[in-house]
Amino acid sequence: MKWALLSVWDKKGIIELAQVLAELKYNIMSSGGTGKALAGAGVKFTEVSSYTGFPEMMDGRVKTLHPKVHGGLLGRRQIDDAVMAKHGISRIDLLVVNLYPFEAMLQKELNLESMIEYIDVGGPTMIRAAAKNYKDVAVVVDPEDYPEIIHAIRSDGISADERFRLAKKAFARTAAYDAAISNYLYRLDSPFPETFTVQFSHGRALRYGENPHQLAAVYGSRGIAGTEPLQGKQMSYNNYLDVNAGAALLREFDEPAAVIVKHNNPCGVATSQDILDAYLTAREVDPVSAYGSVACLNREVTRRTAEEICKTYVEVIVAPSFSRDSLEVMKKKETMRVLPLPQRSESDEIRTIDGGVLTQRTPPYQEHWQVITDRDPSADEMKALQLAWKVCRHTKSNTIIFADRNRTLGIGAGQMSRVDSAKIAIAKACAPLKGSAVASDAFLPFPDTLEVAAAAGATALVQPGGSIRDKEVIEAANRLHMAMVFTGVRYFRH
């Protein structure tokens, strides 16, 4: 008869699996909480302590750490049979284990003494033993795999290929578990660990990377990385980058808003009382750049909005939801990706560089808006400054943004010179800039950018401040009768 060892923290589906195993004449071994659950359901099993001859001890810290357990998992068929028989070790053919919920407990902000008790020892040890011996033992670490296991054991048994797949998944699980523990312990006395270990699952190959000659994949099961289109072609590498940029900016707005993104920069942003109007206004800020863009909306897409979206070439449309009628309309754009806007998944930013990675975290902080000129911004100017500043935070440096109360008017992004960014924004302006507001992602080192903006018609400017020449810039603003606000916070994006 075959043996199955069941030892799980998450009891989801374990009774149903155990009942099938019992029906198919497996000997079931278990202990602790899993054993109580099986007993409560009337499933017969052998206690681990009865099998090993040693009781559970040390408040359950030691129960499966025994040669009769690990010998049953590691014993090689036809090679170790004699030694197993000599020591009364039964072959364990199926191991079903999931671990103490260390990662989940991290969210509860428990003290170190409490967290230590959620470090599983026996579970990972058994998993590694069974996975090493995958040619003879199937190891299951995820309840989502139970239906497939049930189907297999009801038919021809668990195949070699399936055991190998399960082993890879098992090693990935123990690697992630140990990474969480390592990162937690290191961070007790430092914001960033000396050794930083990360793991992302749900990997999917992409057609190519930024360019057709590059290979690429996406990893992640949450947020944008884990969201699949409702229709259209497979998401591309560049699509993911643009959606990520657009969603980050879109989340700055509570009112109906539309963000059009091209090559990781916004090319049009607008707000309105109506999402259709917001979309049309954002698109018209720079209709040439909007061709082949990613459009992000923070309200449901209705039929009328879908019809407008379909009048031009949009790579991806992102929104919290889509009406049934809108989805019918967008079907005629067979290649356009229709992507639900997911909840934000908080995490540190990680970027690769030659030989390693850079990581950064944005903690809660407070901007301090301070009018530092003789003239205060008017209500309209303040509204425009706030919109421009939101867009500025999500545009590549150096950036200069012109805006009115409801939309961006001109965007200059990614230039080595701040003055050049201003000139590009002016050249691309979708409307006269008289009375507009301007935002700069970093301080103005000289008055020249302000002077260029004023000459174009801007009457208010927001910037972080902090230059050694702030006094000169303030004097220039007063001379030009511009209102200027310092925020105290810089927003470089590289």
Strands (E), 314-414: 314-319, 337-340, 349-353, 356-360, 370-371, 400-403, 408-412
Length of the chain equals: 494
In the block, which residue shows the tokens 């360019």?
211
**Tell me, what DSSP letter sits at residue 225?**
G
Q: Within 53-159, where are the H helices?
A: 67-74, 81-86, 102-106, 112-116, 122-132, 146-154
The residues annotated as belonging to the active site are 132, 263
Q: CA 250 → CA 72, 138, 243, 420, distances in Å?
A: 55, 46, 10, 26
* Residues in contact with 93: Cβ distance below 8 Å, sequence separation at least 6, in sequence order: 2, 3, 4, 26, 136, 137, 138
What are the DSSP calls for 402-414, one per residue? EE-SSBEEEEE-S
- CA 223, 228, 230, 235 torsion-angle sign: positive
Are the CB atoms for 46 and 27 separated by under 8 Å?
yes
Q: Are strands 3-8 and 337-340 parallel, antiparallel or unpaired?
A: unpaired
* Position 259, amino acid: V
* CA-wise closest residue to 361 among 378, 342, 348, 351: 348
* Position 145, amino acid: D
Q: How many CB atoms lie under 10 A from the CB of residue 415?
A: 18
